């Protein structure tokens, strides 16, 4: 059963922990077999448990697969950048009262050694945002 358009859009945060870990492994690997996912996970799960979760995640519309010989290769339906942006917006809204500046300040506080290239990239993004009136 595929996810229909009238169902609410699922996010990674909506998934049970183990399913979320499987999807995160796929985002890291980009495309993977059940065995590759099993090897990537830091928890002990059987191959059949992984395959069952993959089937559920396909039913939910989160993953898709293609066949290569006898292997199923799984990948995410939603591009990583879209998921990243969604998660970041939720994080900024929840923990920083929708203040991008507060979130950026907190992230910079965590960075112990920014390279000159990192600082140049940040300055360029700030200049671009100013130019665009954001």
Q: Is residue 117 part of a domain?
A: no
Q: Is residue 129 part of a domain?
A: no
Q: Is residue 17 part of a domain?
A: yes
Q: What is the mean pLDDT of residues 81-85?
A: 85
Note the pLDDT tens digit of each residue in 16-44. Answer: 889 999 999 999 999 999 999 999 998 88
Q: Is residue 67 part of a domain?
A: yes
Pure H helices in the chain: 17-29, 34-40, 47-59, 80-95, 100-110, 116-131
CATH number, residue 38: 1.10.10.10
Q: Is residue 73 part of a domain?
A: yes
Number of independent structural domains in the chain: 1
Q: Which domain holds residue 87?
A: 1-95
Give residue 130's Cα distance to chain centre: 29
């Amino acid at each position: 059963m595929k996810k229909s358009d009238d169902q609410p859009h699922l996010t990674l945060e909506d998934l049970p922990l183990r399913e979320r870990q499987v999807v995160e492994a796929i985002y890291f690997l980009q495309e993977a077999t059940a065995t590759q996912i099993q090897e990537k996970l830091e928890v002990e799960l059987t191959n059949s448990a992984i395959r069952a979760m993959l089937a559920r995640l396909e039913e939910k519309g989160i993953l898709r697969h293609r066949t290569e010989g006898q292997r199923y290769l799984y990948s995410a339906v939603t591009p990583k950048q879209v998921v990243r942006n969604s998660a970041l917006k939720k994080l900024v809204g929840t923990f920083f009262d929708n203040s991008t500046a507060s979130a950026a300040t907190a992230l910079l506080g965590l960075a112990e050694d920014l390279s000159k290239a990192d600082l140049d990239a940040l300055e360029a993004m700030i200049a671009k945002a100013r130019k665009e009136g954001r």
